[in-house]
Amino acid sequence: MEPESHCDVVEVAETSNGTKMTFVELGLRAELEEACSLLKWTEPTPIQREAIPLALQGRDVIGLAETGSGKTGAFTLPMLNSLLAHPQRLFGLILTPTRELAFQISEQIEALGSSIGVKCAVIVGGIDMMSQSLMLAKKPHIVIATPGRLVDHLENTKGFNLKSLKYLVMDEADRILNMDFEQEVDKILKSIPRERRTLLFSATMTSKVQKLQRASLVNPVRVQISSKYQTVDKLLQYYVFIPLKMKDVYLVHLLNEAAGHSVMVFCSTCSGTLRTSLLLRALGISAVPLHGQMTQNKRLAALNKFKARNRGVLLATDVASRGLDIPHVDWVINYDIPTHSKDYIHRVGRTARAGRSGKAISFVTQYDVELYQRIEHLLGKKLPLYGLEESDVMSLQERVAEAQRVAKMDLRELEDKGQGGVRGGRKKKTFDDGNDDTEMSSGVRKRVRNSGSNGRKR
Ligand SMILES: Nc1ncnc2c1ncn2[C@@H]1O[C@H](COP(=O)(O)OP(=O)(O)OP(=O)(O)O)[C@@H](O)[C@H]1O
């Protein structure tokens, strides 16, 4: 990342200082330290240690640290501390790029702020505006929102405004400041006071100075843990080089190997997640899709099933690549390589969180070589090839081909019911997976045997 102009920089190597510190020593109130200890946070993580004192001093902060390193605590704790010092309704706003992340942050704030009675409202798309208007009318202390829906309320909900706001956080800030959210963010910034604290956090940051300036930071300090974009030490990363048409066979083989573990598989399209989940289910593997064209209820239901380990495999688009904290994810598979290299860092960061270990494997086909090289360039290293016994993989070919045919028929059936599909045409495309609650999908993760043998429970 290029340095921003007029920005102080605090750069810390993660292991630079062995001395222990407490949350109170960072300047936080004792109630918050107690709340941290209830969550079993015994000491601050490096990003919390560096960013919290600066935010408490009233500085605007740009916080950069690897995935799963406790950035949420690094911005929520100082915000809660200031709220305690100056209690006020509609005190803080946290913007996130996805709905699921907004709910997750609200859960963390409620856990940290339960003893001090903090009230939050989650304002995201896909949910009834009216019930959200009622929540806003109760004037919560903190609003956690996706930009589009917040603008909707700012423009259409009578009596709601953010004119007294004191604290703005953009989590996954590089994503929020990119073009997709440009108009919404500009409108939000125009509706909140200039005099406020602004904190931007992410594992990757935009290098475009203008974009950061759009967030209208005042004399910001950039806190950066490590100098290079890094993936976590305990994350083992590999690639497999395979022909495009063999992706499904390799996926099934790897999921066999990962049986008993929770796996997130990233696909590039909504229809890809749906097709692949139908394929896996046809093989008795409990998989659930999560993508942006599902209804919000189904998105949350899918995530909850995966979180509760009722489904072993979550097939997702990049809607799930940022911020989601599901500690038991052991493997990440990039079924499709991400088009934006930085998304790779976020995707693989869904595993090996908070000091745990994890494995990430990326499928590279004959068409992905350039994209893959860009990722290696961003990481500053070459990844090893994942060791596979080719004959073991190929022994699954027949069963997978049969499952592909079943998945194709299931997909067609969904399209005919208007619940999903990849073809355009007479019915509205929703890509909703209407079948997730069927018997077929509710099995325990099974190992897929080669043709001629049945799936065996593990
Ligand atoms: N001080 C701490 N001690 C122990 N665990 C912590 C501490 N702070 C946060 N955690 C835990 O670490 C996990 C990851 O934290 P968090 O989700 O904030 O990561 P992140 O840096 O925001 O990651 P991402 O870039 O993927 O959004 C969470 O489960 C959180 O509860």
Give the residue among 78, 90, 93, 94 at the shortest CA–CA distance from 29.
Answer: 78
Taking residue 187's Cβ as centre, other Cβ atoms within 10 Å add up to 15
74 alpha carbon to ligand 1 midpoint, in Å?
Answer: 9
Distance between Cα 259 and ligand 1 center (Å): 26
Annotate 26-41 with b (16+ C-beta within 10 A) or e (fewer): bebbeebbebbeeeeb
CATH superfamily of the domain spanning 235-442:
P-loop containing nucleotide triphosphate hydrolases (3.40.50.300)
Beta bridge partners of 297: none
Give the binding-site residues of ligand 1, using a 6 Å CB cut-off: 41, 44-45, 48, 65, 67-73, 203, 323, 325, 327, 349, 353-354
Give dist(CA 349, CA 353) in Å, integer: 7
Evaluate whether 263 touches 313 at the Cβ level (below 8 Å): yes
Buried-exposed string 353-388: b where 16+ CB fall within 10 A, e elsewhere: beeeebbbbbbbbeebeebbebbeebbeeebeebeb
Say what the ipTM of the complex is: 0.99
Residue nearest to atom 4 of ligand 1 (CA): 41
| Shared fold status for 4-224 and 235-442 | yes
Q: What pLDDT score does 417 carry?
A: 79
Q: Could you say which of 3.40.50.300, 3.40.309.10, 3.50.50.60, 3.40.1010.20 is the CATH number of the domain covering 4-224?
A: 3.40.50.300
- How much is the pLDDT for 456? 33
291 CA from centroid of ligand 1 (Å)? 24
What span, in angstroms and rounded, lies between the C-alpha atoms of 72 and 171? 8
From first to last of its 458 residues, the chain has per-residue pLDDT tens of 444 456 788 877 665 456 889 999 999 999 999 999 999 999 999 999 999 999 999 999 999 999 999 999 999 999 999 999 999 999 999 999 999 999 999 999 999 988 889 999 999 999 999 999 999 999 999 999 999 999 999 999 999 999 999 999 999 999 999 888 999 999 999 999 999 999 999 999 887 766 777 788 999 999 999 756 667 889 999 999 999 999 999 999 999 999 999 999 999 999 999 999 999 999 999 999 999 999 999 999 999 999 999 999 999 999 999 999 999 999 999 999 999 999 999 999 999 999 999 999 999 999 999 999 999 999 999 999 999 999 999 999 999 999 999 999 999 988 887 765 433 333 444 555 444 433 233 333 446 666 544 333 32
Tell me if residue 188 falls in helix, strand or coil.
helix
What does the pLDDT read at residue 3?
43
Nearest to 321 by CA among 376, 258, 266, 273: 266
pLDDT at residue number 178: 87
Distance of alpha carbon 394 from alpha carbon 403, whole angstroms: 15
Q: 10 alpha carbon to ligand 1 midpoint, in Å?
A: 20
Probe residue for ligand 1, chosen from 42, 49, 71, 76 as the CB with the greatest number of ligand atoms within 8 Å: 71
351 CA distance to ligand 1 middle (Å): 12
Taking the centre of ligand 1 as the mean of its atom positions, its distance from the CA of residue 178, in whole angstroms, is: 24
pTM of this structure:
0.90
Listed in sequence order, the residues at least 6 apart from 431 whose beta carbon sits closer than 8 Å to its beta carbon are 270, 271, 274, 291, 293, 294, 420, 421, 422
The residue ranges of every structural domain in the chain are 4-224, 235-442
From the list 189, 89, 84, the residue with the least C-alpha distance to 147 is 189
Q: Which atom of ligand 1 is nearest to the CA of 346?
A: 26
Residue of the CA atom closest to atom 5 of ligand 1: 41
- Ligand 1 mutation target, pool 204, 224, 353, most atoms within 8 A of CB: 353
Closest atom, ligand 1, to C-alpha of 203: 25
- So what's the pLDDT on residue 214? 74
Q: What is the pLDDT of residue 14?
A: 60
Nearest atom of ligand 1 to the alpha carbon of 40: 4
Output the pLDDT for position 7. Answer: 77
Both tokens assigned to 304: 């909850």
Residue with CA nearest ligand 1 atom 14: 68
Helix axes 247-257, 397-416, angle to 10 degrees: 110
Task: Report the pLDDT value the prediction gives residue 213, as an integer from 0 to 100.
Answer: 74
Ligand 1 atom at shortest distance from the alpha carbon of 43: 1
d(CA 356, ligand 1 centre) in Å: 11
